[in-house]
Structure 1
Amino acid sequence: MDRLAGIQEFVAVVDAGGFSAAAQKLHLSRSAVGKAIARLEERLGVRLCHRTTRAFQLTSDGHAFYEHCVRILAELDIAENAMTSDKEQPAGRLRLSVPVIFGRRCVAPVIADIARQYSELRFDVSFTDRPVDLIDESYDLVVRNSALPDSAVLTARRIARQRMTICAAPAYLAARGTPRNIEDIAEHDSIVYGRDGNTRSWVFPNGKGGTYTAPARSRLILDDLEAAADMAVAGMGLAWLPCWLIRERVHSGTLVRVLPDIEPLVFDTFAVWPKAPFMPARLRVLIDALASRLPGMTGADGEIKSAA
């Protein structure tokens, strides 16, 4: 018995969202795909999906089986790539999770270039700031703006550095005054990043290996950094943002840095993926491209620099 029979067809139907699209991708007839999945269901003794001529929907068993199938096919890809990675172009599917703004502004352009270079690569990208479980949610790679905790099942590589800075609109500073030290921040309105009831503190190195927190008074709490930058441009208060995000606004004069001589927090951005004996060529190409390209977007040390 071929225990893999029907699995590729099943995953293709789920990924494509229907039988016709999957059949076209697999270069099979719709009937052949449907029969392969029917035989798979018969062998398993469960219903994997509900389907009509117009609709396709996974059952709860189908959802669980799909996650296992994706991992099985990924392991097969790893084994095959170990034998052929030096002989073939990167190919296959990569499922990624990236932060919303950093992902859109910095990671997405790299993905676009890789996709143009390798026509056999497919990308499934989720833009979210929520914590994700890389293993349970079957991601091939996640990009995260925090250090990787000790893990026996994950591997990480630093791909960028982000330098934080306080900024404000010239009109706001003209009306409210410019802070002369960290303590002055408490007298100002602040635009703060927050999500799910938690806000991000404005943190600075203390010169002794630790950090201290600026006394920011959060008048506006937003879960979108781009919106926070826009609010700062509108004169709504001080904001603590990554230098790469406000670089163009600083160069155009719509924002200015506040307390630029104070040592900023610089934090690392990591690519994280499951540990495996072999790395698929498609994953290695993407990670190498991110590590090569992102420092040019964020600055080698996250600094504000001219785009020229």
Structure 2
Amino acid sequence: MTDRLNGISVFVTAVGAGSFALAASRLHLSRSAVGKTIARLEQRLGVRLFHRTTRSLSLTDDGALFYERCLRALEEIRAAETLLESGKREVSGRLRVSMPVLFGRMCIAPLLTELAREHPGLELELSFNDRVVDLIEDGFDLAIRNGELANSSGLVARRLGNHRMALCAAPAYLQRRGEPQSIEQLAQHDAVAYVRAGVVRNWLIPEADGVTREMMPGTRLQMDDLQAIADAAVAGFGIAWLPCWLVRGQLIKGELVRIMRDRPGLFFDAHAVWPQTPHLPLKVRMAVDLLASKLPANMELIEAKPVG
């Protein structure tokens, strides 16, 4: 019976992946093992499940009928497992999470590894990537996304906290160039700019009346890595516009100083998103609950107290 269920799971994964090679990657098997499992399943059933060519994989009519029933059966099995899990506090199984590279490494991964330490049966697979992944197609249980959510049909989202953006510079730079007190003065300074896809990203500066100004001073340095921008700002190359969670250590040490503090802050939301399902797996629920409770403290603004 176990072999039969394994074959069905491999079959369903292969259909969703669209190829044996991608299914093998998701299942942590070899492509040959996936092909042999499908062949044994076809032999047992006495039908062909796939039309195979060197470039494509598609279901036969029999395969489509079988897939519909298999998918329904596996969903019922997962629902039953979730109901049993709901009465336990011990998390087990593999949890695949996608997250932005720097934010994930600094703020998300430490919390999830803490969860894994508390639950020895939990296996973590963390993917650090700044692209927006397709959770279902790429086989992720959970993803962390920043900013406005897009293409979220079929997904459930929960807000985890927000990124507060800050204009900051090294004390030595401000001593040399002076501290700007207005947008007009800020425009006369050097900036360390963030570049993405070859485009310099302008700064968004909120005004007291609720209007957000978009601007960018002259740029001495342009980089596509936020950590490198923070390092350049500490080195005195100019003013940078960065999330507070990234530079909180430098602000606490006094290596960077936040400027134009009297202006309203600009915030971007951080969300956890996961595929919509009738019964949320315990491993996903506990991961999201942990992030929602502890992530805000990892993102809040902390800086050195002014002298005097």
Query: TM tier, shorter chain?
Result: 0.7 to 0.9
Q: Which residue of 1 aligns with 2:254?
A: 253
- Length-normalised TM-score, structure 1: 0.77
Number of aligned positions between the proteins: 279
Report whether the alignment pairs 1:230 with 2:241.
no
Q: Which moved more, 1:151-160 or 1:232-241?
A: 151-160
Deviation at residue 184 of structure 1 after TM alignment: 1.6
Q: Secondary structure at the match of 2:87?
A: coil
Deviation at residue 14 of structure 1 after TM alignment: 3.4
* Residues in 1 aligned to 2:95 and 2:224: alpha-carbon distance in whole angstroms: 27
Preserved contact between residue 206 and residue 263 of structure 2 (Cα < 8 Å): no
Deviation at residue 238 of structure 1 after TM alignment: 0.7
Deviation at residue 215 of structure 1 after TM alignment: 3.4
Query: 5 Å matches for 1:173-188?
Result: 173-188=174-189
Structure 2 unaligned spans of 5+: 14-22, 59-66
Cα deviation code 1:217-273 (max 9, x no counterpart): 333222211111011111111100111211111121211112122212022111111
Question: Structure 1's 270 and 210: CA in aligned 2 closer, same or farther, altered over 3 A?
Answer: farther
* Residues in 1 aligned to 2:5 and 2:51: alpha-carbon distance in whole angstroms: 16
Deviation at residue 108 of structure 1 after TM alignment: 0.4
Q: Which amino acid aligns with 1:84?
A: L
Q: Which amino acid aligns with 1:168?
A: A
Preserved contact between residue 78 and residue 279 of structure 1 (Cα < 8 Å): no
* Residues in 2 aligned to 1:175 and 1:104: alpha-carbon distance in whole angstroms: 34
Root-mean-square deviation (Å):
3.5
Q: Which amino acid aligns with 1:79?
A: A
- Percent sequence identity is 45
Cα deviation code 1:128-167 (max 9, x no counterpart): 2223233333322111111324844121111112111111
Q: Which residue of 1 aligns with 2:268?
A: 267
Cα deviation code 1:56-91 (max 9, x no counterpart): xxx8659xxxxx9xx959846641333212234322
* Residues in 2 aligned to 1:122 and 1:170: alpha-carbon distance in whole angstroms: 45
Q: Which amino acid aligns with 1:304?
A: I
Q: Secondary structure at the match of 2:248?
A: helix
- Length-normalised TM-score, structure 2: 0.77
Q: Which residue of 2 aligns with 1:295?
A: 296
Query: 5 Å matches for 1:4-43?
Result: 4-8=5-9, 14-15=25-26, 17-18=28-29, 36=37, 38-40=39-41
Question: Structure 1's 236 and 155: CA in aligned 2 closer, same or farther, altered over 3 A?
Answer: same
Q: Which amino acid aligns with 2:302?
A: I
Structure 1 unaligned spans of 5+: 20-30, 50-58, 63-67
Preserved contact between residue 159 and residue 270 of structure 1 (Cα < 8 Å): yes
* Residues in 2 aligned to 1:185 and 1:76: alpha-carbon distance in whole angstroms: 60
After TM superposition, the runs of 4+ consecutive aligned structure 1 residues lying more than 3 A away are: 1-5, 7-19, 33-38, 40-49, 59-62, 71-78, 149-152, 207-210
Q: Which residue of 1 aligns with 2:85?
A: 85
* Residues in 1 aligned to 2:121 and 2:38: alpha-carbon distance in whole angstroms: 25
Q: Which residue of 1 aligns with 2:243?
A: 242
Preserved contact between residue 179 and residue 259 of structure 1 (Cα < 8 Å): yes
Match of 1:304 among 286, 297, 302: 302
